[in-house]
Amino acid sequence: MHGLMQDQPLLISSLIDFAERHHGDGEIVSRRVEGDIHRYTWADVAGRAKQAARALDTLALARGARVATLAWNGYRHLELYFAVSGSGRVLHTLNPRLHPDQVVWIANHAEDEVLCFDMTFLPIVQAIHSRCPGIKRYVALCDSAKLPTDSGVPNLVAYEDWIGSQPKSYTWPKLDENTASSMCYTSGTTGNPKAALYSHRSTLLHAYAAALPDVMCISARDAVLPVVPMFHVNAWGIPYSAALTGCKLVFPGPALDGKSVYELLEAEGVTYSAGVPTVWQMLLGHMKAGNLKFSTLKRTVIGGSACPPAMIASFRDDFGVEVLHAWGMTEMSPLGTLCTLKNKHTALPEAEQMKLRLKQGRAIFGVDMKIVGDNGEELPWDGKTYGDLLVKGPWVIGSYFKGEGGDPLVDGWFPTGDVATIDPEGFMQITDRSKDVIKSGGEWISSIDIENIAMAHPAVAMAACIGMKHPKWDERPIVVVVKRPGAEVDADTLKGFYDGKIAKWQIPDDVVFVDAIPLGATGKMLKTRLRELLKDYQLPTTV
Ligand code: AMP
């Protein structure tokens, strides 16, 4: 027997309709690329998102067409989140930190047809447009006064002109809830990047779950500043959970230095924030140097890479802010676990509580997880045994866009590539990652890309790239090189060889020359062994 409740699809357009109707005067504050502070309301977001949806309709874009963005966290980007997905197109958030060659590859693979960009990223657009023949419209997120006449970018229009003449009324299409809504590419650990393609249903369920008290705990009484970029896994879903709760949103734009973030947190009464450890390191450094305190910030989610214990302690002891350690990935929309204590833990001594808070946390309802051994056998939840972490759930990837990489699932479970323990209370802790990519400042660096470039140098016989702990960026890459017999090259020349081939921040900090790189039985480089050999190595202090 079927239930007799209304059958309504879970759609992203319903989020903005809700925010407009029930929190119409709720504030959205943005530090703009233009430098000033912009403020308006959820009702304004809704009206302008409808104008943008109409503007997309004028381009005769089919349902499912990809509309890309290269943009900071800001109000126009937020409007596109609702306009693009709500009108049945797919929002493709491109990562502006990638090298233009990578952006070209990804935009062409995604078959992007429109590219909306902040003026900061005009140089990227100028570098790529001739190699992206599928993009038929470029939209600069500014008004026409800010649009240069000689940019060289074809079919370029200012966003304010583009949407300005459109009416603020629009009937959102009633889509199937499984319709694709947005996409985000992961860095390719083996080969090219692959895209996670989210649906309206997965996004809505994730937004519900993310707002729960034991997850991000976002409410209508919060003012939320997502530092985590809207170009990385939809800013961890915060824009959607924000519309669902009607909280105030505060966007930092391009100014992510400690001083700018601190001033915005204070000026806007921010209660809640989210970001990778690197950003918080800059913020805490600024605050400690100036002996500053928070007057409103209560909680912050930290994830993307392991949060250092000292950071959790400093937030709590020096600044009275609770850190919520979170784990997830692009393939998981992204939230998988979040570390909040159970009632019985609140009576534990502080040191015991701290041990729990360092873990990546408990599974969120909607995500099931397990750890398995080499033969796929499930391992015990004893907090000691570690194994490959597998997950499943309605916002976990089923397959990659265009089927890249084949079927990623193992008996219906997605292997995360992370290695973890799970304790008897269900607290998961990442002990390592099985992939060898390097994470610097919250962004992946593909070790294979770095190695491939080094190997292209005539004096290099073999190259292995590994990450080294760095106090500011978490990890920085170094490349370990075996020279060809009789060939000569020095470290500076080899570092110079990377110029223009990858983004500057991806260039290895050092080149270490060795006689041989340890190889495994199948001829693969043994990076674990290499790390052991280099355990006393120190990164150059100039970086
Ligand atoms: P991405 O898809 O770029 O968001 O990266 C996902 C990966 O980041 C995960 O598979 C983990 O390896 C790593 N990661 C995310 N959050 C954490 C965390 N809290 N602690 C340790 N590693 C993390």
pLDDT of residue 529: 84
Q: Whose CA is nearest to atom 7 of ligand 1?
A: 329
Q: What is the pLDDT of residues 194-225, one digit of tens each?
A: 999 999 999 999 999 999 999 999 999 999 99
Residue of minimum CA distance from atom 22 in ligand 1: 305
Residue nearest ligand 1's atom 17 by CA: 305
Active site residue 444: yes
Is the pLDDT at 2 greater than 70? The verdict is yes
- pLDDT number for residue 433: 64
Intervals of CATH 3.30.300.30 along the chain? 436-533
Q: 202: buried, middle or exposed (CB in 10 Å: 19+, 13-18, 0-12)?
A: buried
- Average predicted confidence (pLDDT) for the chain: 93
Asked if residues 288 and 318 have their Cβ atoms less than 8 Å apart, the reply is yes
How far is Cα 327 from Cα 362, in angstroms, rounded to an integer? 9
The CATH 3.40.50.12780 portion of the chain extends over 13-320+331-335
Buried b (16+ CB within 10 A) or exposed e, 354-378: eebbbbbbbbbebbebbbbeeeeee
**pLDDT band at 109; cut points 50, 70, 90:** very high
Catalytic residue among 331, 443, 451, 475: 331
Catalytic entry in 42, 162, 444, 473: 444
pLDDT surpassing 90 at residue 47: yes
Owner of token pair 């390592």: 432
**CB within 8 Å of 122: residues ≥ 6 apart:** 140, 148, 151, 153
430-488 pLDDT, tens per residue? Answer: 876 666 668 888 877 877 678 878 988 989 888 999 999 998 898 999 999 999 889 99
Q: H or E segment at 105? A: helix 100-110
Mean pLDDT of 511-534: 79
Ligand 1 pocket test target in 184, 325, 327 with most atoms within 8 Å of CB: 327
171 is catalytic: no
Among 3.40.50.2000, 3.30.70.1090, 3.40.50.360, 3.30.300.30, what is the CATH number of 436-533? 3.30.300.30
Instruction: Annotate 295-353 with DSSP letters as a single string.
Output: SS--EEEE-SSPPPHHHHHHHHHHH--EEEEEEE-GGGSSEEEE----GGGGGS-HHHH
CA of 360 to the centre of ligand 1 (A): 10
Closest ligand 1 atom, CA of 435? 12
* Cβ-based neighbour number of residue 118 at 10 Å: 23
- Catalytic member of 186, 298, 370, 425: 186
Which one is the CATH code of 366-435: 3.40.50.410, 2.30.38.10, 2.40.50.140, 2.30.30.100? 2.30.38.10
Per-residue pLDDT tens for 67-91? 999 999 999 999 999 999 999 999 9
Give 417's contacts (C-beta < 8 A, 6+ positions apart).
Answer: 189, 388, 433, 434, 435
- For residue 331, the ligand 1 atom closest to its alpha carbon is 2
Tell me how far apart the 2 most distant CA atoms of the chain are, in Å. 79
Residue intervals of the chain classified under CATH 2.30.38.10 are: 366-435
Determine which residue's CA is closest to atom 6 belonging to ligand 1.
329
**467 C-alpha vs ligand 1 centroid, how far in Å?**
15
The residue to which tokens 């369920």 are assigned = 205
* Token pair in block for residue 57: 């309709």
What is the C-alpha to C-alpha distance for residues 251 and 74, in angstroms, rounded to an integer? 5
Q: Which atom of ligand 1 is nearest to the CA of 443?
A: 3
Q: What is the model's pLDDT at position 542?
A: 59
**pLDDT tens digits for range 115-152:** 999 999 999 999 999 999 999 999 999 999 999 889 99
- Take residue 292 and report the two structure tokens written for it: 């500053």
CA of 439 to the centre of ligand 1 (A): 9
Distance 476 CA to ligand 1 centre (A): 16
Task: Tell how far the Cα of 417 is from the centroid of ligand 1, in angstroms.
Answer: 10
Ligand 1 centroid vs 308 CA: distance in angstroms? 14
pLDDT for the residue numbered 432 = 61
- Site to probe by mutation for ligand 1, drawn from 333, 338, 430, 438 as the one with most ligand atoms within 8 Å of Cβ, is 430
Where does 118-217 show beta strands of DSSP type E? 137-140, 156-158, 180-186, 194-199
- Reading the block at residue 367, the tokens are 């995500």
Å from CA of 474 to ligand 1 middle: 12
User: 489 pLDDT exceeds 80?
Assistant: yes
- 91: three-class secondary structure by DSSP: strand
> In angstroms, what CA-CA distances link 137 with 66, 113, 117, 125, 154?
12, 7, 11, 12, 8
Q: Which of 50, 392, 439, 527 is catalytic?
A: 439
Ligand 1 centroid distance, CA of 305 (Å): 5
CB 230 within 8 A of CB 72: yes
Atom of ligand 1 nearest to the CA of 326: 19
- For 13-320+331-335, CATH number out of 3.40.50.12780, 3.40.190.10, 3.40.50.300, 3.90.1150.10 equals 3.40.50.12780
% of the chain with per-residue pLDDT over 90: 78
What's the pLDDT tens digit per position in 275-313? 988 788 889 989 989 999 999 999 999 998 778 777 898
Q: What is the CA radius of gyration of the chain?
A: 23
Write out residues with Cβ below 6 Å of ligand 1: 186, 233, 303-306, 325-327, 329-330, 334, 360, 416-418, 430, 433, 444
By mean pLDDT, which of 203-207, 393-397, 502-506 is the weakest?
502-506
- 186: annotated active-site residue: yes
**Whether residue 247 has pLDDT greater than 80:** yes
